[in-house]
Structure 1
């Protein structure tokens, strides 16, 4: 009954999404079809399971590969549609601006004899308007403390009048409104051009400013040119970000460098060392509990817990090495790992923050993906060889029902151990335990929430708004599961207090990663679900795990 209700809810969500996407034309329908392709394999799998038809591993893999291929094809079509739309908009804007220039020139000539009193009043009114807008202005999130807001910008497609353009050129008025010194502001405005980003309006924003206008070049090249010009003029004192406002129009945000990522302090390094020691202790405790004793009550038995402890630490180490090798390759600075000790698993993984501004979303994805890829592959290798080395008389004896806790582990166990799973107790090698624990640790770190590795991957591929939605759904699901499993509740609390915010934007936050990275993100999220979702009793019985 629950499966049927979930299927009906999913179909309802797809229908609602179609209604929402239809007004956007071809681009909206393509985006909706991508959602259908993502949900399709799951709807088919659980729908068939509900009526007693079960797909084997080959069928599941065929579904995943097929849906990934269709998703990539739709993504290319969507990008092509977006490029053609943007080209048409740019052409229209060019014609509109040329026409506006001629009209403005004629108006200014016909009104050249007007008194300046009206101008002064208009200037005062505009100053008050800009000041109010500056208070409300909030671009798409600039750091972990600043998030997007619909009040960040005025009406979509707003173009300043001729008098506003004159005021935007008045350095004295800007100095009174903007926190940036007048000479710095003049230098910053010099980085813009008709071939990169044509600035039409300046809005105060914290210690910096938002520059609205029209994007004239490719986002990646434009962001690089603006950043280089800013460095040439003002050194490392300011940083520029090419973002989109809530209405989807490109803007440039310039902030002082001190608002950016800061290096790790000595106190934070001491905390990192303390957490590493605590994590080693919890790994020792986990290894001893698995062997039915307490290492802190029987410390003389430490040789017995050493293999599993070293195995868990190896998975954690591989995860961190993956992050660091990729970060070093891309010239990105990251903080030391802050491990999260846990009695049930040995560790929840670790937290890591970026200490330098990322150039684009592809770099964000690469660094975030490298850690789980390294830790996950090592865990999968441990699991596979653990199954291969398992035999009668192995160190651990697990109830057969234990293998129903994970779709991936259950299917692999059935494929390798065969009929041995039909016994009440199954003998397994310690490597299998290490691999399973490693897969769980990796899987909870690729959940699509906040600044977890999975959250960073979702932000890199789909953007901040999608990440905010997936974070909310993830936390709700963890809270529900936490009613039956305290481990999920602990993890949800840690995410809320430590990792709930999206990652800060990149220098070029407009350019999307390529389809290969999108496919890797989908594959990673799919494997995460296979690790964390349990087998249904009927499917477990069909596989012979009982």
Structure 2
């Protein structure tokens, strides 16, 4: 097994451990290491097969599927066996649980008093729902929220805005008003204790932006990616020791890559600022090997106001990064060198890249390199091309319509939370099948398989997007398909590649 695959397995192990520790461990008393070991068993089994049998030995379908099936069942059983039972489980909100929304509401706050409103306050609450916008039928007190259920009598946007203004004028900032899809054609309102109200001074005092930390991580990541970039520029460690100034050659990789990542994250950040969503500055993750970084991230510290904001913030990142990555990739391909296609040529071999694994990359390589790119050729990527190529791959990864990835937010905003969870399950299955076709995708498939598939609801999670945003969302999903879709043989023949 090549060193790159070992490093990928190591990175996957670190990511999966952090995911388990941050999410699932809050639901169960099962030891973190046991859940993590179950998570990692399938990729480890596949890696051992390649070590023992060799990479050229075809993997039987039963051997490939068995670890995933067994470990998925075992993973679920371990979580259920050690599941933490809160004292309020008997009165859990059935409607919210039915829609997969109990957890996000519970994360905001819990109502300790079983009857938090006085009779007078409940009377005032009922007046917040004019019959012309929402005919209120019942007020139920739940551990996570006060549910107001009834029948919508106008369009969702008008209803939410009217009820929200009335609740704020009556209760101030005591509650957050959440408007969610319930049973078909029966959306419901939920009043959730507001953890960001003015009385919570400690939360407001929490530092949101840490520019020194963000700048330090950026500089460290610039160094690690520049060091890695020397390898892409074919500079050996001995050459670097003899002439340290050769480190500058790595900037051809590090600067374009960090530019792509920066535009991606600051696009998220700018959209968040536009919608007054509290968020941190982008933080880069340095890594002293492989690609030199594991990307960057921002943290959102307040709920999304509506599905329109959820869409715009999610859409801005991957599309902003792609707009920068595409010209860099074209420029880098012009500087790259076609080399003979070998058995080791793959989508992870930057010195012998076979772009035919992707419809988008295969066609782009043909258009850029012209007649130099023939059926017998692969591409030795220039460092700029490596950065642009990774930018395209990062775009595809983020556009996957699963959970809290940008693509998951996009389909949630387009189709609603319940439909988005179904789309996420289908996407996981497709990636798993694609992983059997291209072994390089298997780690990606495992990562998606165990990623939580539930996205947090927006405050107004009922009002749908307009046609323009729906069109942009479909365009982004089409881009994802073009990047991941293998180049059909007929198209390759027609293009003579």
Q: TM-score, normalised by structure 2?
A: 0.66
**How far does residue 382 in structure 1 lie from its aligned partner after superposition?**
0.9
1:315 aligned onto 2:273: no
Q: 1:276 to 1:429 in 2, by over 3 A?
A: closer
1:138 aligns with 2:96: yes
Q: Output aligned runs, 1:48-127, within 5 Å.
A: none
The unaligned stretches of length 5 or more in structure 2 are 1-88, 107-111, 340-348
Distance 1:355 1:514 in 2: 26
Deviating more after overlay: 299-308 vs 462-471: 299-308
> Which of 119, 134, 150 in structure 2 is aligned with 1:197?
134
Q: State the shift of 1:272 in Å.
A: 6.8
Would you say the 8 A contact 2:352–2:380 is kept in 1? no
Correspondence for 1:527: 479
Pairwise CA distance, 1:388: 4.5
Deviation sequence 1:523-544 (CA, Å, 0-9, x none): 1111112223332455434422
Q: Alpha-carbon deviation of 1:291? A: 3.5
Going from structure 1 to structure 2, the CA distance change for 1:285 and 1:485 (only over 3 Å counts) comes to: farther
Distance in 2 (CA, whole Å) between partners of 1:208 and 1:469 is 26
1-structure distance, mates of 2:115, 2:426: 39
Change in CA separation of 1:542 and 1:372 when aligned onto 2, cut-off 3 Å: same
Of structures 1 and 2, the larger Rg is shown by: 1
Task: Note the residue ranges of structure 1 that are not aligned, 5 or more in a row.
Answer: 1-130, 148-174
Q: Determine which of 470, 473, 495 is the counterpart of 1:518.
A: 470
2:309 aligned to which of 355, 358, 363? 363
Give the whole-Å Cα distance in 1 for the aligned partners of 2:312 and 2:318. 11
Alignment equivalent of 2:415, drawn from 453, 462, 473: 462
The C-alpha deviation readout for 1:77-113, integer Å capped at 9, x for no partner, is xxxxxxxxxxxxxxxxxxxxxxxxxxxxxxxxxxxxx
Aligned to 1:75: none
Partner Cα separation in structure 1 for residue 127 and residue 421 of structure 2 = 35
Q: CA RMSD in A?
A: 3.8
| Residue 302 of structure 2 is aligned to residue 372 of structure 1 | no
Indicate whether 1:236 and 2:163 are aligned.
Answer: no
What is the rounded CA distance, in whole Å, between the counterparts of 2:357 and 2:154 in structure 1? 52
Task: Provide closer, same or farther for how the CA distance between residues 205 and 284 of structure 1 changes in structure 2, counting only shifts above 3 A.
Answer: farther
Shift of 1:243: 1.5
Quick one: distance in 1 between partners of 2:432 and 2:179?
A: 36
TM alignment of 1:216-255, pairs within 5 A: 216-255=153-192
Question: Is the CA contact 2:315–2:410 (under 8 Å) kept in the aligned structure 1?
Answer: yes
Is this contact kept in 2: 1:284–1:295, CA < 8 A? no
Structure 2 distance, partners of 1:193, 1:420, is: 70
Task: Tell me if the contact between 2:271 and 2:312 (Cα under 8 Å) persists in the aligned partners.
Answer: yes
Query: What is the deviation of 1:182?
Result: 4.7
Number of positions where the alignment pairs a residue of Structure 1 with one of Structure 2: 384
In 2, the alpha carbon distance for the partners of 1:136 and 1:256 equals 19
C-alpha separation in 1, matches of 2:240 and 2:434: 34
Query: What SS does the corresponding residue of 1:138 show, helix, strand or coil?
Result: helix
* Residues 142-181 of structure 1 aligned to structure 2 (within 5 Å): 142=101, 145=104, 177-181=114-118
TM-score for the superposition, normalised by structure 1: 0.61
Task: Give 1:161's aligned residue.
Answer: none
Q: Among residues 479, 488, 492, which one is paired with 1:540 in the alignment?
A: 492
Q: Secondary structure at 2:373's aligned position in 1?
A: helix
After superposition, the Cα gap between the structure-2 partners of 1:264 and 1:288, relative to the gap in structure 1 and judged at 3 Å, is farther
Distance 1:185 1:355, change over 3 A: farther
1:283 paired to 2:225:
yes
Q: Deviations over 1:467-502 (max 9, x none)?
A: 2122223333444555676764544555566x6243
Contact 2:269–2:298, Cα closer than 8 Å, also in 1: no
